[in-house]
Amino acid sequence: MMDYHLPVLLKESIEGLKIKPNGVYVDATFGGGGHSNEILRRLEKGKLIAFDQDEDAEANVPDDRRFTFVRHNFRFLKNFLKYQGVEAIDGLLADLGVSSHHFDSPHRGFSFRFDSELDMRMNTKSGFSAKELVNTYPLNKLISVFHDYGELHNAKALGKAIVNYREKNLINSIRELLESINSCLPKYSENQYLAKVFQALRIEVNHEIENLKTMLVQASQLLNSEGRLVVISYHSLEDRIVKNFFRYGTFETTMHTDLYGNVIRPLQPVNRKIIVPSEEEIKKNIRARSARLRIAAKLS
């Protein structure tokens, strides 16, 4: 079994699903199987379908006839459920972001703590890596990536530094990337800055924002009446998308209303306040500190 992170907000997310013993559920981000195993404990004749595009996750698949593993991105949710003969579900849980397994695997290129090839692909069989991104994207596109996905104030300077460096040397490794942007790093907060740089590259390489939006729309269409959608996010970009979709039925803050002024949306937020890990959980698992949990139910 691969060493993945401890499942974050486990009790709160599982309770949020309101599991029916004979229901059909989806774990959209299987990883180490922590959430899946807890769902299975609550099922009798029910069914659980789990998605993960990372081949390493297959090492954690349980031997359980109620469980089906799909090694694909959750953006293909609807197609693969249809292939499995599933037309509707009672709940879906998605634990977004990157697992400890990815951060702690030097060869995957997700962390600036190690020097390795600049990769960052969740699916190692896909063709586009962070190395190709930094060596081929034009300046305006690099600026957009760092501004939109890293929310970095000096995205323009960062993009220029990469373009200037690659005119003389290709950027193939994490060390070379760090070398190329060294002049842009703020004193005393280099690690926080680099975390945002790596986040931006990872999101772009894996199309994380587009995939999340696609999954949320499909999940809302698949849910049975009163079915639950439970999402754990780790940065403001993801959380904003989830919050807006739950509240307004869109990915913006603009509401669509009917003739009577009622908001037209497929889901109803369950928790008014965002759910965050307790201090006790954060002490046990420091990587839980940025987790944010939102729950919504399908309207009847």
Of residues 259 and 24, more confidence is placed in 24
pLDDT tens-digit readout, 200-226: 999 999 999 999 999 999 999 999 999
Q: Is residue 4 part of a domain?
A: no
DSSP state of 128: -
104 burial (CB, 10 Å; 0-12 / 13-18 / 19+) is middle
pLDDT tens-digit readout, 70-106: 999 999 999 999 999 999 999 999 999 765 545 455 5
Which residues lie closer than 8 Å to 192 by C-beta, 6 or more apart? none
Same domain, 65 and 117: no
Indicate if the pLDDT at residue 126 is higher than 80: no
CATH code of 128's domain: 1.10.150.170
CATH code of 274's domain: 3.40.50.150
Torsion of CA 198, 203, 206, 208, to 10 degrees: 150
Same domain, 47 and 79: yes
Q: Are 211 and 73 contacting, i.e. CB atoms less than 8 angstroms apart?
A: yes
Same domain, 33 and 166: no
- CB neighbour burial string for 165-192, b if at least 16 within 10 angstroms, e if fewer: bbeeeebebbebbbebbeebbeeeeeee
Same domain, 149 and 183: yes
Phi, psi angle pair for 232, to nearest 5°: -110, 120
Work out how many domains the chain is built from and give that number: 2
Residue 172 vs residues 49, 117, 180, 263: alpha-carbon distances, Å: 37, 6, 11, 49
Same domain, 78 and 218: yes
Q: Are 112 and 194 contacting, i.e. CB atoms less than 8 angstroms apart?
A: yes
**Number of Cβ atoms within 10 Å of the Cβ of 76:** 17
Same domain, 73 and 220: yes
Among residues 177, 206, 235, which one ends one of the domains? 206
Identify the domain containing residue 184 by its residue range. 109-206
Range 17-44 average pLDDT: 96
Q: Is residue 74 part of a domain?
A: yes
Q: How far apart are CA 105 and CA 263, in angstroms?
A: 45
Rg, C-alpha atoms of the chain: 20
